[in-house]
Amino acid sequence: MWQEMNKPKMATEKGASRVLMLLGQLERLNEGPKASDTDATRQITGRILHIIQTQEKTRKEMMSKGSSGMDVILSTLENTRDLQTTLNILSILNELLTVGGGRRTGVFVSKGGTAILLQLLVSSSKDLPLNEELMLHIHSLLFKVGPKDRKFGVKARLNGALNVTVNQVKHNLQNHKLLLPCLQVLRVYSGNLVNAVSLGKSGALELMFEIIGPFSKKSTTLLKVALDTLAALLKSKMNARWAVDRGYMPTLLAIYQDWHRNDTRHRHMIIRKSILGCIKNLTNIKLGRKAFIDANGMRILYNTSTECLPVRTLDPLVNTSSLIMRKCFPKNRLPLPTIKSVYQYPLPHILAGGPVAQLHSLPPGVDDVVDESDENEGTEVDTENDTENEDDETGHKTQNDDIETDINKLRPRQMQARPFDELRVYERFCLEFTQYFKVNDFQSPGSVTPLSVDPNLHNPLIIPTKQNRRPKNIQPPRSNDPPLDLDSISISKALEGKPDPDLACSLGRLVLDGEISVNGESVNGPQEESGDQAVIEVPDTAALLPLHDPDLYLEMVKGTRSVPAYTEVAYPDYFGHVALNLREPILERAYGVQRTKIFQDIERLIHPSDILDRVVYDLDNQSCPIPDNGESLKFNSKFESGNLRKAIQIRKFEYDLILNSDINSNHYHQWFYFEVGNMRPGVRYRFNIINCEKSNSQFNYGMQVLMYSVQEAINGSPQWVRTGSDICYYKNHFSRSSIAAGGQKGKSYFSMTFTVTFQQKDDVCYFAYHYPYTYSMLKMHLQKLSGMCTNEIYYRQDELCETLGGNSCPLLTITAMPESSSNEHISQFRSRPVVFLSSRVHPGETNSSWVMKGSLEFLMSCSPQAQSLRESYIFKIIPMLNPDGVINGNHRCSLSGEDLNRQWQNPNAELHPTIYHAKSLLQYLRATGRTPLVFCDYHGHSRKKNVFMYGCSVKETVWQTNVNTSNCDLHEDLGYRTLPKLLSQMAPAFSLSSCSFVVERSKEATARVVVWREIGVQRSYTMESTLCGCDQGKYKGLQIGTRELEEMGAQFCVGLLRLRRFTNPLELHNHNSHLLDMENDLKDPRSIPNITSPTTYVLEEDEPAFLEEVDYSAESNDENDPDFEPDLQDNRVLPDPSSDSEISRQDSLT
Ligand SMILES: [Zn+2]
């Protein structure tokens, strides 16, 4: 708006005020011959100064909109050679800019005032002797203007002003009146990194060290500015190195201690904080961290912080100290021989360039736990890298690079990947479309034919109808050679009388190989024969858990093939889990938890003699003797879905735990499931999982771990409960090899810590990341579900394929029986649209299995809604896309060491059989004109709350990009919005605002995108369920449980039923033709505001990142730190928080 100002016109205006008249005169003088008018100019500026010093309104007049007062003043300043005139104008500017805030300064800057002042400073510095008053005025003004001028640092350097100010400081160390404004300007200069380097060379560092010093009540303002200037200068590595070489680290620590001791009333907290700021910046370099350790910095900051802890107002000191200590804490290697999984699985072949090939390409004997290469400090680069912080605001990327912008890639690809002859074999999974009926078929016993055998496709097949009344058909389990003998399990369902009070002493393990292990000692022979053995009572949960049967579970386990050849069964899986009736609120985070935990970690270094460092569980060294001193907990994870690699007792009641990488991989762990025994009741045990990889976690936002107590189960509460206090997730001091960190060096692991007090004596407890759901459990549930089959239900279970690990991948077909064999009924039966569901491609997302269980139970139920749903659709369901990963306790991958949800574009039949055959089946459906109406893959989300969906929309993707939409005139059916919209109206956990329909490049190989693009399913979704809880709806503030997850699965089905009602039956008949007009009332985009969350980069996650409340603070995020010096050389530098309130802010989040 300033640019719109016209030439001055105030002189001609009637009634112009005196100041405007004077300005008019000044303007005319500026235009005339200069030398002769010096006196006049001096007089006029003097009068203006006098007026504005006495009348505020005249200042307003001069600065009012449309006034050219500033132009005239600046032009006079630029042209005059007269000292008094200059001083007058500087005083006028000082008056003008003192009040009026940013706007007046803004006008000054926009008129080029900064450069005029800087030129004046430089030219005046050439006149000797220097005029002190002039220097004072110029620096005072520069200090006012500098912080408002984004280019100030560059302008100062280019005008040669830096050294003038440094010299002023140098020559006026005792003249505080002039020293203060000069220092303040120096502080502004040094905010620019290039300037900092240059100022360091000019001796500014020495000057600052001359000014700062031990505790003093005098000149504290000056001290504060000097410290802040020093801190800014020390952001340059060259300066930091200089300071460390001169021994300034011990000096700063001594100064800090002195202030800490003497500032007893905490009046000068900000000075103490500024001293810490200097120390913090020195520790950005390796040399500085070493100097810190050598100078006993850990102990000094630990002790001072401990003394500050009781005073809440000193939190910024404690937080900054803690940050420095964590930065300097010597990095440890994980106590492992290798980060590769303990278990390896030989693959049929290894894809060149694939992750497993990379794993094997490491030379033998290479230590992959830490990097071999030395960390080099490297040479100074910050002079070349002109990282002008003035440019920060323009340099930011506003657009997400991950959004697909290639419009051709956004259009469905009508390609036939495989010839139909090859796809024909998948007809066996779609018998409902080809089977036909003879009248007498209805007289014979009807049952869905189990099709694990190759059906003869040319013979007519019989399918049963409602008219056939026949007993339920329970399928036999897949007849694998049972590798295990279950005869001697130490479990009895029928225990007479009350349980032995000492029963739990004998809680051993369920062992499947005939060898019973009780309290760690092996006993041979069947349980019944050894009379002294306690018998474990199985809680009777049959009424509560209709799909659970312990005996059947064991039966199922026999056919499950695991890489470690597990012989034990975890009690929770055997007993079953009864959903809690309790509400489990999202945990309120106690203030300062993270800090306390970090201080405890730092104590390991300060009091090393307190540390036990005793290995109590080790999969890598199973022959290693485990101390049995009665003082250590006993760990175990050798059962299906178990994951715990190593446990180390750190203190009497504290354990470090290490998780195992996914098989054939060296990372991807997050899932855990293990057993703990030999605990003392009433004692607080601290557990730290020390090799977490993600930069943040819902454990920081109220999520608790799950615990299952066997004693509680026996006492009638067989259930997983959310437990643990003092939970937090933070970066730790274990360094992470670049091999497992995508090549990034200098990364650390994260710790997830939780504290538990066990209630029962001699209990055996289990901990898990989320409610476990094993593959054997799925088989048991399917067996039970097939038993629920009535004559109205068409239920068929096929084996889609066998997995790499030799396990069967079930494929279910569920629909309603045809009413009769009449042509009309059979035709209706065959014309039902297909709904294709899948889940658990990611083994760690056990919640997706519970949602699937809810869907399956609903589909098999006898409610009218369920019947109506079955009559509406044919369901094709793959409830577990990654059985091997689930069985072996993986978090993300299959046995091929790959994320199966990244293989959909080009799945390999041998390495990714479940994906290969699922995709082929979809291709078959498409080729036969039965493209599914809905495809949905159930997932779990580790970092967001609620349940939500991702879909695919060309339009919404294009909206997120700068692609010129005119060249892609899009007509898109908005039907993809209907289902999420319906779910948000019915399912309490579902949140529409978390849904996104953007197609990302990084997701192009996921099920959702491939099924949308290649199969042409418009309603292709990923449904993500939180692992944590809800922040909206009926469950707001509560953690999610299996009841809510199962309810979500059931509501999803109800949503499909409503979708059916919104869908024109005629068009459904030809549902490949997409447009479904009946959905109009729901698909108006205006009725769904802000539905799309923009995405950001998320590594190793198949979901768009969330912009929710997670605060990637101090210890988590390297990229978001605005005052962090970018450095390619020294990657060991840990990120700083942008402010010291970070930790407390994070603590306050829920
Ligand atoms: Zn997932």
Write the DSSP assignment of 973-1014 as a string of letters: -GGGGHHHHHHHHH-TTB-GGG-B-PPBGGGTTSHHHHIIII
The 10s digit of each residue's pLDDT in 715-751 is 999 999 999 999 999 999 999 988 877 778 888 899 9
Q: Is the predicted pLDDT of residue 1 greater than 60, yes or no?
A: no
The helix-helix angle for 1042-1061 and 864-872 (nearest 10°) equals 60
The answer to whether the beta carbons of residues 787 and 474 sit under 8 Å apart is yes
The 10s digit of each residue's pLDDT in 292-321 is 999 999 999 999 999 999 999 999 999 999
Task: Give the distance from CA 570 to its chain's centroid.
Answer: 30
Which of 899-913, 939-953, 1080-1094 shows the lowest per-residue confidence on average (mean pLDDT)? 1080-1094
Rounded distance between C-alpha atoms, residue 862 and residue 42, angstroms: 99
Query: For residue 91, which of 47, 137, 135 has the smallest C-alpha distance?
Result: 137
The 10s digit of each residue's pLDDT in 822-879 is 889 999 999 999 999 999 999 999 999 999 999 999 999 999 999 999 999 999 999 9
The DSSP line for 800-825 is EEE-TTS-EEEEEEEEEPPSSSSHHH
pLDDT the model gives residue 521: 34
pTM comes to 0.78
With tokens 């001791």, the residue in question is: 261
The 10s digit of each residue's pLDDT in 515-550 is 433 233 333 333 333 344 445 667 777 888 889 999
Structure tokens at 426: 């998948």
pLDDT the model gives residue 191: 94
- DSSP symbol at 1062: T
CA of 840 to the centre of ligand 1 (A): 7
Half-sphere exposure of 932 (CA within 13 A, CB side): 30
Average pLDDT over residues 499-505: 37
What percent of the chain stands above pLDDT 90?
A: 57
- Give bridge partners of residue 1022 from the DSSP assignment: 937, 950
With tokens 């070489």, the residue in question is: 245
Instruction: Compute how many other C-beta atoms are within 10 angstroms of the C-beta atom of residue 1082.
Output: 20
Average pLDDT over residues 952-961: 80
Pairing of strands 1019-1026, 934-941: parallel
Task: Give the distance from CA 311 to its chain's centroid.
Answer: 33
Which of 196-200, 464-468, 995-999 shows the lowest per-residue confidence on average (mean pLDDT)? 464-468
Q: Is the predicted pLDDT of residue 443 greater than 60, yes or no?
A: no
Average pLDDT over residues 392-401: 42
| Maximum mean pLDDT: which of 330-344, 646-660, 736-750, 1102-1116 | 646-660
CA of 842 to the centre of ligand 1 (A): 5
Query: For residue 696, which of 728, 673, 725, 657 has the smallest C-alpha distance?
Result: 728
Instruction: Compute how many other C-beta atoms are within 10 angstroms of the C-beta atom of residue 1127.
Output: 18
Rounded distance between C-alpha atoms, residue 518 and residue 509, angstroms: 6
Q: How confident is the model at residue 687 (pLDDT cuts 50, 70, 90)?
A: very high
CA of 1102 to the centre of ligand 1 (A): 6
Q: Does 1119 participate in catalysis according to the annotation?
A: no
The helix-helix angle for 248-262 and 286-294 (nearest 10°) equals 60
pLDDT the model gives residue 1044: 96
The 10s digit of each residue's pLDDT in 627-676 is 777 889 999 999 999 999 999 999 999 999 999 999 999 888 999 999 99
- Burial level of 215, CB count in 10 A (0-12/13-18/19+)? middle
Please state, rounded to an integer, the average pLDDT across all residues of the chain.
Answer: 80
Measured at the alpha carbon of residue 800, what is the angle toward residues 795 and 805, in degrees to the nearest 5?
A: 130
Instruction: Please report, for residues 364, 587, 633, 678, 1040, the alpha-carbon distance to residue 720 in angstroms, rounded to integers and kept in the order given.
Output: 43, 16, 20, 20, 12
CA of 932 to the centre of ligand 1 (A): 22
Q: Which residues contact 788 (CB under 8 A, 6 or more apart)?
A: 472, 860, 861
Q: How confident is the model at residue 1079 (pLDDT cuts 50, 70, 90)?
A: very low
Q: Which residues contact 391 (CB under 8 A, 6 or more apart)?
A: none
Q: Is the predicted pLDDT of residue 786 greater than 80, yes or no?
A: yes
Rounded distance between C-alpha atoms, residue 791 and residue 184, angstroms: 87
- Burial level of 511, CB count in 10 A (0-12/13-18/19+)? buried
- Name the residue with higher pLDDT: 27 or 896: 896
CA of 1030 to the centre of ligand 1 (A): 18
Q: Is the predicted pLDDT of residue 1090 greater than 70, yes or no?
A: no
What percent of the chain stands above pLDDT 70?
A: 77
- Name the residue with higher pLDDT: 258 or 4: 258
Q: How confident is the model at residue 413 (pLDDT cuts 50, 70, 90)?
A: low
Query: For residue 141, which of 176, 188, 173 has the smallest C-alpha distance?
Result: 188
CA of 849 to the centre of ligand 1 (A): 11
With tokens 């449309």, the residue in question is: 66
pLDDT the model gives residue 935: 98
The SS3 of residue 1019 is strand
Q: How confident is the model at residue 956 (pLDDT cuts 50, 70, 90)?
A: confident
pLDDT the model gives residue 720: 97
pLDDT the model gives residue 510: 54
pLDDT the model gives residue 739: 81
With tokens 């035709």, the residue in question is: 827
The SS3 of residue 694 is coil
Average pLDDT over residues 691-716: 94
Instruction: Please report, for residues 273, 316, 611, the alpha-carbon distance to residue 311 in angstroms, rounded to integers and kept in the order given.
Output: 15, 11, 29
pLDDT the model gives residue 542: 80
Q: How confident is the model at residue 137 (pLDDT cuts 50, 70, 90)?
A: very high
Query: For residue 906, which of 1002, 816, 996, 1004 has the smallest C-alpha distance?
Result: 1004
CA of 1056 to the centre of ligand 1 (A): 22
Q: Which long-range contacts (CB under 8 A, 24 or more apart) does 717-723 make?
A: 717/578, 718/539, 718/541, 718/572, 718/575, 718/576, 718/577, 718/578, 719/577, 719/578, 719/579, 719/580, 720/572, 720/577, 720/768, 720/771, 720/772, 720/1042, 721/580, 721/584, 722/584, 722/587, 722/1039, 723/756
- DSSP symbol at 450: P
pLDDT the model gives residue 476: 36
CA of 943 to the centre of ligand 1 (A): 11
Segments in 665-774 forming alpha helices (H): 710-714
The answer to whether the beta carbons of residues 227 and 275 sit under 8 Å apart is yes
Q: In whole angstroms, how large is the CA radius of gyration of the chain? A: 36
pLDDT the model gives residue 361: 79
The SS3 of residue 792 is coil
Structure tokens at 854: 């809810």
The 10s digit of each residue's pLDDT in 657-670 is 999 999 999 888 99
Q: How confident is the model at residue 821 (pLDDT cuts 50, 70, 90)?
A: confident
Rounded distance between C-alpha atoms, residue 337 and residue 793, angstroms: 54
Q: How confident is the model at residue 960 (pLDDT cuts 50, 70, 90)?
A: confident
Q: How confident is the model at residue 779 (pLDDT cuts 50, 70, 90)?
A: very high
Q: Kindly report the three-state secondary structure assignment for every residue of 1044-1061.
A: HHHHHHHHHHHHHHHHHH
pLDDT the model gives residue 33: 63
Catalytic residue among 1024, 1047, 1079, 1125: 1024
CA of 1020 to the centre of ligand 1 (A): 15
CA of 945 to the centre of ligand 1 (A): 14
pLDDT the model gives residue 107: 87
CA of 180 to the centre of ligand 1 (A): 58
Q: Is the predicted pLDDT of residue 323 greater than 70, yes or no?
A: yes
Q: Is the predicted pLDDT of residue 155 greater than 90, yes or no?
A: yes
